[in-house]
Amino acid sequence: MIVEIIQDSPESLHTKFIKIDFDGRQQFYVSEGEPEDNTLNRNFSGCYMIQRMLEQVYIAGQKGEDIQFINKQV
């Protein structure tokens, strides 16, 4: 399993964001912006995805699957 954590660089003039992909598939994404455009969904319900991601990584580790973490700034 490849877990890729992508975020904006500190020098970026664009909207701040963080994205987490598992094997190339987006699992989590959040960016800053206007409060009414919150990308974590209403009442931050998008945070519940974090538990699912932790479970996926834990299960992969239990199965002996190789897990690689990659951190990128763009």
Tell me 68's DSSP state. E
Q: The domain containing residue 16 runs over which residues?
A: 2-73
Whole-model pTM above 0.85? no
Contact 47, 40 (CB under 8 A): yes
Please give the pLDDT value at position 48: 82
DSSP per-residue string spanning 13-30:
-S--EEEEEETTEEEEEE
Instruction: Indicate the number of domains in the chain.
Output: 1
Which tens digit of pLDDT belongs to each residue from 30-56?
887 666 666 666 667 778 888 999 999
